[in-house]
């Protein structure tokens, strides 16, 4: 029993030593709901674990936090394994977590769902962004393990279906912590070199841990960013990875991916033959139609007896020439008759015609026609035009009221 007086630090240190020496508290699992979660810039995680009645502060240092495959969030129910100890400075005990996993769901599955939802919200899986797979590629790139059954299946299926396509294998790790970087580098290689028309990335089946490299965020982004169409073929038909959603097309198996990547030569032959037959039928029909037209044209009289046809046209031209000449002469005569009639009327109305009948036209000194005696004054000089010429006179007397 301690009888001496302790400082606060000594007391907290003593309590810490007691708790740290407890075998139960030195390795214990605690389940609860995360609240007050904070991811520090140092990489440490600070949070509170709580249930309906109590709570305890908790911390997970960076070395342990880096191994958690999912992103902890407020409200998430988890099971943490670690130890209970005291932080002497604050005099509070707290839980130091070394391992964290979801309560009731696998941590890898949770990480899968979190990343899938995140990338989907960014539009990375948008169907409108998917690139079409080329119908007849000249080269196919394979990103997979060079020793697995998957690569043999893809090579065999491609060679059987379309042996004309060149196959380029990029040997890559498909499992383990170094696999994601290897897969990203392979995608970069094919996009930088442009050496293939379509890429198949994948591997054979396995556990979720075995396939986890294809759930890497970096791999998913590299697949979605590829300028070359990518077919994802990871695992078996029931296996789904983030890579499948990011790719332009998902295949249930590597063999099916090869079927998607290249056409079936036999089907192409049938299709080409159908096209040839269709075109040949069209040409035969067209030639038959042209022959009928040629036969019809060759049977016409203009072809059989062109001289007779030309003679008829000459007679027709002569008849139309005569008709045109007659019409022209008649038109000219009518126009001459009308012109003579107009000239006669103009002659009748001409002042010279009136003068020739004994009348005179009188103009004043300014050359204006004198129409009324009021225009004249005694002493004015006038000119009058009569038959044979003109004469000048001086007005000596004006008499009004005279009529003709």
More confident residue, 208 or 245: 245
pLDDT surpassing 90 at residue 184: yes
pLDDT surpassing 60 at residue 199: yes
SS3 string, the chain, reads: CCCCCCCHHHHHHHHHHHHHCCCCCCCEEEEEEEEEEEECCCCCEEEEEECCCCEEEEEECHHHHCCCCCCCCCCCEEEEEEEEEEECCCCEEEEEEEEEEECCCCHHHHHHHHHHHHHHHCCCCCHHHCCCCCCCCCEEEEEECCCCHHHHHHHHHHHHHCCCCEEEEEECCCCCCCHHHHHHHHHHHHHHHCCCCEEEEEECCCCCCCCHHHHCHHHHHHHHHCCCCEEEEECCCCCCCHHHHHCCEECCCHHHHHHHHCCCHHHHHHHHHHHHHHHHHHHHHHHHHHHHHHHHHHCCHHHHCHHHHHHHHHHHHHHHHHHHHHHHHHHHHHHHHHHHHHHHHHHHHCHHHHHHCCCCEEECCCCCECCCHHHCCCCCEEEEEECCEEEEEECCCCCCCCCC
Find the mean pLDDT for residues 298-307. Answer: 72
Q: Given this model, what pLDDT does residue 121 score?
A: 94
Q: Given this model, what pLDDT does residue 3 score?
A: 56
Q: Given this model, what pLDDT does residue 340 score?
A: 84
Find the mean pLDDT for residues 304-331. Answer: 82
113-122 pLDDT, tens digit per residue, is 889 999 999 9
Q: Which domains does the chain have, with CATH numbers?
A: 8-105 (2.40.50.140), 113-126+136-263 (3.40.50.2300), 353-394 (no CATH)
122-181 pLDDT, tens digit per residue, is 999 999 999 999 999 999 999 999 998 899 999 999 999 999 999 999 999 999 999 999
Taking each helix axis from N to C terminus, what angle separates 179-193 and 217-225, rounded to the nearest 10 degrees?
A: 10
Name the band, by pLDDT with cuts 50, 70 and 90, for residue 322: confident
Name the band, by pLDDT with cuts 50, 70 and 90, for residue 317: confident
pLDDT surpassing 90 at residue 233: yes
Q: Given this model, what pLDDT does residue 355 score?
A: 62
335-390 pLDDT, tens digit per residue, is 888 888 888 777 766 666 666 666 777 888 787 887 777 778 888 888 877 767 78
23-57 pLDDT, tens digit per residue, is 888 889 898 888 899 999 999 999 999 888 899 99
Q: Given this model, what pLDDT does residue 358 score?
A: 60
For the chain, what's the residue count? 404
Name the band, by pLDDT with cuts 50, 70 and 90, for residue 238: confident
């Amino acid at each position: 029993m301690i009888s001496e007086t302790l400082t606060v630090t000594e007391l907290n240190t003593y309590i810490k030593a007691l708790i740290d020496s407890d075998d139960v508290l030195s390795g214990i699992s605690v389940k609860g709901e995360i609240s007050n979660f904070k991811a520090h810039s140092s990489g440490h995680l600070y949070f509170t674990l709580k249930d309906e009645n109590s709570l305890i502060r908790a911390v997970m240092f960076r070395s342990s936090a880096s191994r958690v495959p999912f992103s902890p969030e407020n409200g998430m129910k988890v099971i943490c394994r670690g130890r209970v100890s005291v932080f002497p400075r604050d005099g509070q005990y707290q839980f130091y977590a070394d391992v964290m996993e979801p309560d009731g769901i696998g941590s890898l599955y949770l990480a899968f769902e979190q990343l899938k939802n995140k990338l989907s919200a960014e539009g990375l899986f948008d169907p409108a962004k998917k690139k079409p797979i080329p119908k007849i590629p000249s080269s196919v790139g394979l990103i997979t393990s060079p020793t697995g059954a998957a690569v043999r299946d893809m090579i065999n299926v491609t060679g059987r279906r379309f042996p004309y396509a060149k196959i380029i294998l990029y040997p890559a790790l498909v499992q383990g912590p170094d696999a994601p970087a290897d897969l990203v580098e392979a995608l970069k290689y094919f996009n930088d070199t442009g050496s293939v028309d379509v890429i198949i990335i994948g591997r054979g089946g396995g556990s979720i841990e075995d396939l986890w490299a294809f759930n890497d965020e970096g791999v998913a982004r590299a697949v979605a960013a590829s300028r070359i169409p990518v077919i994802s073929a990871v695992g078996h038909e029931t296996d789904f990875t983030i890579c499948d959603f990011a790719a332009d097309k998902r295949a249930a198996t590597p063999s099916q991916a090869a079927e998607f990547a290249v056409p079936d030569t036999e089907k192409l032959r049938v299709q080409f033959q159908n096209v040839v037959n269709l075109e040949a039928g069209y040409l035969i029909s067209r030639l038959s139609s042209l022959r009928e037209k040629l036969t019809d044209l060759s049977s016409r009289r203009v072809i059989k007896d062109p001289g007779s046809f030309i003679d008829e046209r000459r007679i027709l031209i002569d008849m139309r020439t005569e008709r045109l000449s007659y019409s022209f002469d008649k038109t000219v005569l009518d126009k001459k008759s009308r012109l003579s009639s107009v000239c006669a009327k103009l002659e009748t109305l001409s002042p010279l015609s009136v003068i020739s009948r004994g009348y005179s036209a009188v103009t004043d000194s300014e050359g204006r026609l004198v129409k009324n005696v009021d225009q004249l004054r005694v002493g004015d000089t006038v000119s009058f035009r009569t038959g044979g010429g003109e004469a000048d006179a001086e007005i000596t007397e004006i008499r009004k009221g005279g009529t003709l």
